[in-house]
Amino acid sequence: MSTATHADVHAFVTQAAEAALAVLPLASPGTLTGVVPVASAPDLGDEGTAVSANFAGAATGRVTVVVGEATLETLLTSPEGALDPVDALRPALETAVATLGPCVLEAGVEQDPAAALGALDGGAVAVIGAGGETLALIGITFSADVPAAAAPVASATSAAAAAVAGGPRRTMDLLRDVQMDVTVELGRTSMTVHDLLALTPGAVVELDRAAGSPADILVNGQLIARGEVVVVDEDYAIRVTEIVTPGTEAGA
């Protein structure tokens, strides 16, 4: 163990947030848009909530997940009935902490967002957003030392497994009926406003992917798999050919 630099802390928080995003039950798709000091964290208002928990082991500190009003409303209006935010956000807390190595995560506590962020003094916060809107915050602070060279967790599955080994894990069953957006992306391109306004019916827009390449499957904006487009009963569908793990997103 050795004292981490400011850049180290931001790197650990980035890694933890990327893993946690895969199990964070957001109301709409979100992506990691940046990591900032706690004092610079965006204000999600008074209508959201935060869940925090202390952890100890390979690293010692506190982790917090803050969600906005829309996500909180999604949890409270689940088809299975209102979900306790502490239970619903527990998997994200566990997955984030598991990226730091074997750690024991204590029971989570629901707090006012401002109070929860205030307890992360000296830490950093990952901002989860979409379309300029902040959807959630994932913050971590360390008591003193953190692993000097924490190895990236191989996958979200192994991160979850490490969390189970480190302490009690609450069931994911509570989240099974939470609605999440699934998007299939064939490719992307960049266009100037001039070219965009010049589009007419019949125009061909070239994408950044070769014909026959697998399409990306995203859940709430997070890449989780790739597959090939097929037709089933005259409807488009996608056959999954690859499950994507954190750190391998750039692969073909």
- Dump pLDDT digits (tens) for 162-191: 444 443 344 455 566 677 788 899 888 998
Sorted by sequence, the CB contacts under 8 Å of residue 91 that are 6+ apart come out as 23, 160, 170, 172, 175
1 pLDDT higher than 60 = no
Q: What is the mean pLDDT of the chain?
A: 80
pLDDT tens per residue, range 126-162: 999 888 888 999 999 987 555 544 444 434 444 444 4
pTM across the whole model: 0.60
Domains and CATH numbers, the chain: 6-175 (3.40.1550), 182-243 (2.30.330.10)
Under a CB-based contact definition with an 8 Å cutoff, are residues 206 and 195 in contact?
Answer: no
Give the pLDDT band of residue 27 (cuts 50, 70, 90): confident
Cα angle: 36, vertex 38, 41; to 5 degrees? 65
For the record, the structure tokens of 60 come out as 């010692």
Is residue 14 within 8 A of residue 138, CB to CB? The reply is no
CA distance 154 to 94: 15
29: helix, strand or coil: coil
